[in-house]
């Protein structure tokens, strides 16, 4: 199953770092949060990534271009021009980096990568949030629901898209970024059928608005309720919280061995 990661936004609320790099490249414990997210998916066996780029896309491309070199020993023969890599610790990932436009919205970014997705359901998340959600259970929830979309619902309260979920797990409404609402919100970590892209008009479409609202109205959105850890990195305060958890060895998303 392919993993789509949205990594093209401007990250204006963490401008202390994002003026130099896209928010997914902001580091936690010396590595970009994007890398942490990918390591988490890889722990569950997913190694085929499509990353939707936008703002400062070249920074992400440079990171992956150099990643194999940085994680390998290398021998250079200056007589022949030959270089040999050995003892690499790089993960066996396939990473497809697609520049989906500087000002493209989330729905537009997804629509732009349609040709890379195939016809099977795929995983999707944002490039700025970590969790300890069980991806295998999430996928099974999606299969059991027989719906077009499954969203991981989390309970941080506050400033995100609010979900109205019935006891069977069907989402009846999707209200984006209502600051007064509490309850379950969209935490990303989704499973989507490619048919979801048919609900997206173009670059100016925000996935979490009209497309998701229409999918809900048609009874085609499922929620997997995750009461465990979830944290996005919108601000420097969020970054410091994640750094603290990692430094103390208490990071719930760090399920891999060093």
Residue 40: partners with Cβ closer than 8 Å, 6 or more residues away: 130, 131, 253, 255, 256
Residue with tokens 């040999």: 84
Cα torsion angle, 110, 115, 116, 117, sign? positive
For 9, which DSSP code?
A: -
- Three-class SS of residue 28? strand
pLDDT above 80 (res 160)? no
Q: Is residue 91 within 8 Å of 49, Cβ to Cβ? A: no
Q: Could you tell me the maximum CA-CA distance found in the chain, to the nearest angstrom?
A: 70
pLDDT in tens, 223-237: 999 999 999 998 999
pLDDT above 80 (res 243)? yes
Average pLDDT over residues 62-74: 93
pLDDT above 90 (res 26)? yes
Q: Is 32 left (phi over 0), alpha (psi -120 to 50) or beta?
A: beta
Structure-token pair, residue 108: 């537009």
pTM of the model: 0.88
As a whole number of angstroms, the distance between CA 126 and CA 189 comes to 8
Average pLDDT over residues 35-64: 97
Average pLDDT over residues 34-57: 97
Domains of the chain: 3-247 (3.90.550.10)
Mean pLDDT of the chain: 91
C-alpha distance from residue 77 to each of 8, 66, 199 (Å): 39, 19, 54
pLDDT above 50 (res 178)? no
pLDDT-above-90 percentage for the chain = 78
For β-strands 149-154 and 185-186, DSSP reports them as antiparallel
> Which H or E element spans position 94?
strand 94-99
As a whole number of angstroms, the distance between CA 169 and CA 242 comes to 30
Q: Is residue 194 within 8 Å of 118, Cβ to Cβ? A: yes
As a whole number of angstroms, the distance between CA 54 and CA 61 comes to 11
């Amino acid at each position: 199953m392919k993993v789509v990661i949205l990594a093209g936004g401007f990250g204006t609320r963490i401008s202390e770092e994002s003026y130099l790099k896209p928010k997914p490249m902001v580091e936690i414990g010396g590595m970009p949060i994007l890398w942490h997210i990918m390591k988490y998916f890889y722990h569950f066996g997913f190694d085929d990534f499509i990353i939707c780029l936008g703002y400062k896309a070249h920074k992400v491309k440079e990171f992956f271009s150099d990643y194999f070199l940085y994680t390998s020993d290398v021998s250079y023969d200056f007589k022949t021009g030959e270089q040999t890599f050995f003892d690499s610790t790089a993960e066996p990932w396939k990473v497809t980096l697609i520049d989906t436009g500087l000002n493209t919205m989330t729905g537009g970014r997804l629509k732009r990568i349609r040709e890379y997705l195939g016809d099977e359901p795929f995983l999707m998340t944002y490039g700025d949030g970590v969790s300890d959600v069980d991806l295998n259970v999430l996928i099974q929830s999606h299969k059991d629901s027989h719906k077009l979309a499954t969203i991981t619902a989390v309970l941080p309260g506050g400033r995100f898209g609010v979900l109205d979920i019935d006891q069977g797990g069907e989402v009846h409404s999707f209200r984006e970024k209502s600051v007064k609402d509490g309850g379950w919100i969209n935490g990303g970590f989704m499973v989507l059928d490619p048919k979801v892209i048919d609900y997206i008009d173009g670059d100016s479409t925000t996935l979490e608005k009209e497309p998701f609202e229409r999918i809900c109205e048609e009874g085609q959105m499922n929620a997997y309720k995750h009461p465990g850890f979830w944290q996005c990195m919108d601000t420097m305060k969020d970054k410091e919280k994640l750094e603290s958890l990692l430094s103390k060895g208490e990071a719930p998303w760090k399920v891999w061995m060093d």
